[in-house]
Amino acid sequence: MIGNNNKILESPLNSGNCPWSYGTFAHETSCTRYWQCWNGTGTLQQCPYSLLYNEKIHSCDWPQNVPDCQKHPICNENPNGSVTIDNSCDRYWLCVGGYPRLQRCPAGLAFSIELSKCELDYLVPGWFVYPFICLWVKRMFFFVVVLIPKPK
């Protein structure tokens, strides 16, 4: 690293995942990960909320600001739509410009594949017959038990 007087402040490293002793550096294969280097030791970090690592600003950034990264294959068919997540009633991917962002439906709603949006859970076709135990089953049981009047 070169300082204000053009003097070398730090020598580049030739080993490991840190090209320099200190700083943040792009991961070799992942756009969502980066290396945080301290004293030549790299710690793998993950960008939050579907952000991508931007080498220009040495920080996580919105996908549209990181054009060098490839778009995610989950969004190939619909780069600006919704994609279901297997084994999930209320979570789905929202693709924005080909980059997925994890979303969750509010309580009492389930993601409708047909409508590509969150809908009242009991109106979503097949929400009860998924091949796994869904949280909606527990909610429905609760509502049935609560709505049955007490015997007199």
Instruction: Tell me if 151 is assigned to some domain.
Output: no
Q: Is 39 a residue whose pLDDT tops 80?
A: yes
User: What integer is the mean pLDDT of 86-101?
Assistant: 82
Please tell me whether residues 46 and 3 are part of one structural domain.
yes
Q: Is 139 a residue whose pLDDT tops 50?
A: no
Arithmetic mean of pLDDT over the chain: 76
Please tell me whether residues 24 and 84 are part of one structural domain.
no
Q: Determine whether 38 is exposed, middle or buried from the number of CB atoms within 10 Å of its CB (0-12, 13-18, 19+).
A: exposed
**CATH code, 20:** 2.170.140
Model's pTM, two decimal places?
A: 0.47
Range of the domain at 113: 73-132
Between 35 and 136, name the one with better pLDDT.
35
Q: Output the CA–CA distances (angstroms, integers) from residue 75 to 93, 107, 125, in the order listed.
A: 9, 26, 23
Please tell me whether residues 21 and 44 are part of one structural domain.
yes
Q: How many domains does the chain have?
A: 2
Please tell me whether residues 85 and 27 are part of one structural domain.
no
pLDDT score, position 118: 92
Instruction: Tell me if 146 is assigned to some domain.
Output: no
Please tell me whether residues 33 and 88 are part of one structural domain.
no
